[in-house]
Chain A
Amino acid sequence: NAGVMQNPRHLVRRRGQEARLRCSPMKGHSHVYWYRQLPEEGLKFMVYLQKENIIDESGMPKERFSAEFPKEGPSILRIQQVVRGDSAAYFCASSLGLAGSTQYFGPGTRLTVL
Chain B
Amino acid sequence: AQTVTQSQPEMSVQEAETVTLSCTYDTSENNYYLFWYKQPPSRQMILVIRQEAYKQQNATENRFSVNFQKAAKSFSLKISDSQLGDTAMYFCAFMKNNAGNMLTFGGGTRLMVKP
Q: A44 touching B45 by the CB < 8 A rule?
A: no
Q: B33 touching A42 by the CB < 8 A rule?
A: no
Q: B98 touching A43 by the CB < 8 A rule?
A: no
- Binary CB contact string for chain A from 86 to 114 against chain B (1 if under 8 A, 0 otherwise): 00010101010111111111011010000
CA distance A77 to B17 in the complex (A): 42
Give the residues from 25 to 66 in chain A that come closer than 8 angstroms, CB to CB, to chain B: 31, 33, 35, 41-45, 48, 50, 55-56, 59
Whose C-beta in chain B lies nearest to the C-beta of A110?
Answer: B43
The yes or no answer to B62 lying at the interface (CB within 8 A) is no
Least Cβ distance of B39 to chain A in Å? 9
Residues of B within 8 A of A59 (CB): 102
Q: A43 touching B100 by the CB < 8 A rule?
A: no
The yes or no answer to B91 lying at the interface (CB within 8 A) is yes
Q: A31 touching B100 by the CB < 8 A rule?
A: yes
Least Cβ distance of A1 to chain B in Å? 14
Give the contacting residue for A100; candidates B45, B47, B52, B104; CB below 8 A. Answer: B52
Least Cβ distance of A95 to chain B in Å? 8
Q: B50 touching A102 by the CB < 8 A rule?
A: yes
CA distance A110 to B45 in the complex (A): 14
Give the contacting residue for B98; candidates A93, A99, A102, A103; CB below 8 A. Answer: A99
Q: A98 touching B99 by the CB < 8 A rule?
A: yes
Q: A108 touching B52 by the CB < 8 A rule?
A: no
CA distance A63 to B44 in the complex (A): 28
Q: A42 touching B106 by the CB < 8 A rule?
A: yes
Residues of B within 8 A of A98 (CB): 99
The yes or no answer to B97 lying at the interface (CB within 8 A) is yes
Q: A43 touching B47 by the CB < 8 A rule?
A: no
Known: A56-B102, A105-B45, A107-B42. A100 touches B107 (CB 8 A): no
Known: A43-B91, A44-B105. A100 touches B97 (CB 8 A): yes
Give the contacting residue for B97; candidates A95, A99, A103, A105; CB below 8 A. Answer: A99
